[in-house]
Amino acid sequence: MNAIIHGIVLAFGLILPLGVQNVFIFQQGAWQKHIWRALPAVISASVCDTLLIVLAVAGVSVIVQELPVFETVMMAGGFLFLLYMGWVTWNSRPNTSQNEKHTFTPKKQVAFAAAVSLLNPHAILDTIGVIGTSSLQYSGLEKWLFMAACIAVSWIWFISLAIAGRLFQTIDTSGRLMLIVNKCSAAVMWAAAGYFGVSLFCN
């Protein structure tokens, strides 16, 4: 039981802060006409998180942390992708019949969700470092329960974010609030890109 509670608290602590991944899932819930159309983004992000958590608990983190070039490649990829994603978000419009072209297709949702999940070096290193290290204190069934709790939190959180986005869009009938959210989201993405860029040059 302690392993389950530990996993839930730890996973929430890592996933709650505002980040590109959370912003993207919330937007897809708001942009799509029906909540089920945002499922590709939700599932993709959840699967990516599940993969990272499994790798962290399995001990693959040790190998990754010993490869200095890994973080550099991730920083460069994240920098370029977030610049583009910020531009797309800044120019997006609330979903209406006239602006339906701005919604993401299922394939595009999967690709973007995977990218914001796997091209964020700090998110990966946090998951690998924090969850991987914390799992070392458990063995056998307790380790499995700890990992399952972390994974469950991830899936529940992303589903809830998409639903929250859909509810937000339903309340915001004028689309003005969503425009503000889009601009703020783009700013978050560009700020993250800037941080990656500075980290690349400083290193």
pLDDT over 90 percentage in the chain: 19
Q: What radius of gyration, in Å, describes the C-alpha atoms of the chain?
A: 18
List phi, psi (to 5°) of 19: -150, 175
Contacts of 6 (CB under 8 A, 6+ apart): 134, 146, 149
Q: Is the pLDDT of residue 20 over 80?
A: no
Quickly state the pLDDT bin for 11 (edges 50, 70, 90). Answer: confident
pLDDT, averaged across the chain:
80
Asked whether 45 and 117 are in contact (CB, 8 A), the reply is yes
pLDDT of 62 reads: 59
Q: How confident is the model at residue 71 (pLDDT cuts 50, 70, 90)?
A: low
Looking at residue 159, its pLDDT comes to 95
pLDDT band at 18 (very low <50, low <70, confident <90, very high): low
Fill in the amino acid letter for 193: A
pLDDT in tens, 107-140: 989 998 888 888 776 677 667 777 887 887 888 8
Distance between CA 4 and CA 18 in Å, rounded?
24
| Per-residue pLDDT reduced to its tens digit, 151-202 | 999 999 999 999 998 888 888 777 677 778 778 878 877 887 787 778 777 7
Residue 17 predicted with pLDDT over 90: no
101 pLDDT more than 60: no
pLDDT score of 68 = 65
**What pLDDT, on the 0 to 100 scale, is given for residue 157?**
93
Check: CB of residue 134 under 8 Å from CB of residue 61. Answer: no
pTM over 0.85, yes/no: no
Given this model, what pLDDT does residue 22 score? 85
Residue 9: the pLDDT is 86
Cβ neighbours of residue 151 under 8 Å, at least 6 residues apart?
49, 50, 53, 54
Is pLDDT above 60 for 98? no
| pLDDT given at position 97 | 45
